[in-house]
């Protein structure tokens, strides 16, 4: 090779490839969350919401907005990486990366950045949709909101990567999002405060990791939370570090990608 290897170029290339992938299929990736969330806002916000009244001192539709944004960000970050990385395994285009001199950390970071770009973009789209239904919404703590948005997107992109590494079929990439991730998010305080639950269910809910993500984001957007923010942020960052090390270990070992 006559040109010296430039790691920044390789990382940029992979990230652009990942972003281009989900933009190319925007009807599948960007439109559905906007449509689904519009329906949530119409049914639960505008139609049923006024009958529910207030939640933690906020209009119900206003209370739902952070939860629905997180729901979209989590599922889209996760799905982007799990489907993209599994597809490159399935199509064997992973060989393009493995044969190249790209270090493992750039491969991981490229896929994660792709997931983060989609997650954050979806977050912005859903927030935009929510403003159509509640134009007076103001963000209480923009710095915390943006920080949690990015951290959550990184966390679930890493989880999607691990799922894809172990996946042997397309079923394997839908089982966890469908049967584990989505129920945990729904039960993690997207639609309600755990303060309205009986003591037993409230205690059980405290074991749901999604509760911390959703409530930390709600603290950023509304200034209210059912959990300790410093504890939640600490746990999110700890999980990001643990999952990053795990992903790098799997790449080095070649699990699921090298024979």
Partner 1 sequence: MAEYALEINNLQKVYDNNVVALKGIDLKVQKGDFYALLGPNGAGKSSTIGIIGSLVTKSAGKVSVFGNDIDTDLNKAKSMLGVVSQEINFSQFEKVLDIVVTQAGFYGIPKSIAMPKVENILKRLSLWDKRNDQARTLSGGYKRRLMIAKALIHEPQLLILDEPTAGVDIELRREMWSFLKEINKNGTTIILTTHYLEEAEQLCRNIGIIDKGTIVANTSMKDLLGTLNVQGFVFDLDQPLEEAPVIEGFPLKLEDPLTLVAAVNKDRSINALFSELTKLNIKIKSMRNEANRLEELFIEMVNANEN
Contact set with partner 1 (CB under 8 A): 1-7, 9-10, 12-14, 16-17, 20, 24, 87-88, 91-103, 254, 258-259
> At 103, is the secondary structure helix, strand, or coil?
coil
At its nearest, how many Å lie between partner 1 and the CB of residue 82? 17
Provide the strand spans (E) within the chain.
Answer: 54-55, 58-59
Tell me the closest approach of the beta carbon of residue 71 to partner 1, in angstroms: 28
Nearer to partner 1, 51 or 258 (CB): 258
DSSP 207: T
3-class secondary structure, 135 = coil
Shortest Cβ 253–partner 1 spacing (Å) = 9
Closest contact distance (angstroms) between CB of 99 and partner 1 is 5
Of 37 and 251, CB closest to partner 1: 251
Identity of the residue, 25 or 143, whose beta carbon is nearer to partner 1 in the bound complex: 25
Distances (CA, A) of 96 to 11, 91, 140, 146, 158: 14, 11, 45, 34, 21
Shortest spacing between CB 57 and partner 1, in angstroms:
49
Cβ atoms of 163 and 82 within 8 Å: the answer is: yes
Dihedral pair phi/psi, residue 55, rounded to 5°: -130, 120
- Which residue, 94 or 129, has its beta carbon nearer to partner 1? 94
Comparing CB distances to partner 1, the nearer of 159 and 257 is 257
Instruction: Name the minimum Å distance from CB 94 to partner 1.
Output: 8
Please work out, in degrees rounded to the nearest 5, the angle formed at the alpha carbon of residue 47 by the alpha carbons of 43 and 52: 105
Task: Please check whether residue 147 is in contact with residue 221, taking contact to mean a CB–CB distance below 8 angstroms.
Answer: no
13 vs 38, which CB is nearer to partner 1?
Answer: 13
Rounded Cα distance between 208 and 222, Å, is: 21
């Amino acid at each position: 090779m006559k040109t010296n290897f430039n790691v920044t170029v390789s990382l940029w290339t992979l990230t652009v490839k990942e972003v281009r992938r989900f933009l190319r299929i925007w009807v599948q990736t960007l439109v559905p969350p906007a449509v689904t969330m519009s329906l949530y806002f119409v049914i639960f916000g505008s139609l049923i919401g006024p009958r529910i009244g207030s939640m933690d001192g906020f209009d119900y539709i206003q209370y739902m907005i952070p939860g629905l944004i997180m729901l979209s960000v989590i599922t889209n970050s996760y799905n982007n990486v799990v489907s993209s990385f599994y597809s490159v395994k399935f199509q064997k285009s992973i060989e393009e990366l493995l044969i190249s001199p790209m270090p493992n950390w750039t491969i991981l970071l490229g896929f994660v950045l792709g997931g983060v770009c989609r997650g954050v973009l979806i977050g912005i789209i859903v927030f935009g949709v929510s403003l159509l239904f509640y134009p007076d919404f103001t963000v209480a703590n923009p710095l915390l909101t943006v920080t949690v948005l990015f951290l959550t997107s990184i966390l679930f992109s890493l989880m999607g990567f691990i799922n894809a590494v172990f996946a042997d079929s397309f079923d394997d990439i839908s089982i966890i999002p469908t049967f584990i991730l989505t129920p945990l998010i729904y039960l993690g305080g997207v639609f309600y405060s755990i303060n309205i639950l009986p003591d037993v269910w409230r205690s059980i809910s405290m074991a749901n990791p999604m509760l911390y993500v959703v409530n930390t984001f709600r603290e950023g957007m509304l200034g209210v939370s059912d959990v300790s923010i410093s504890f939640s942020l600490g746990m999110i960052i700890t999980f990001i570090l643990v999952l990053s090390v795990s992903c790098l270990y799997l790449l080095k070992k070649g699990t699921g990608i090298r024979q």
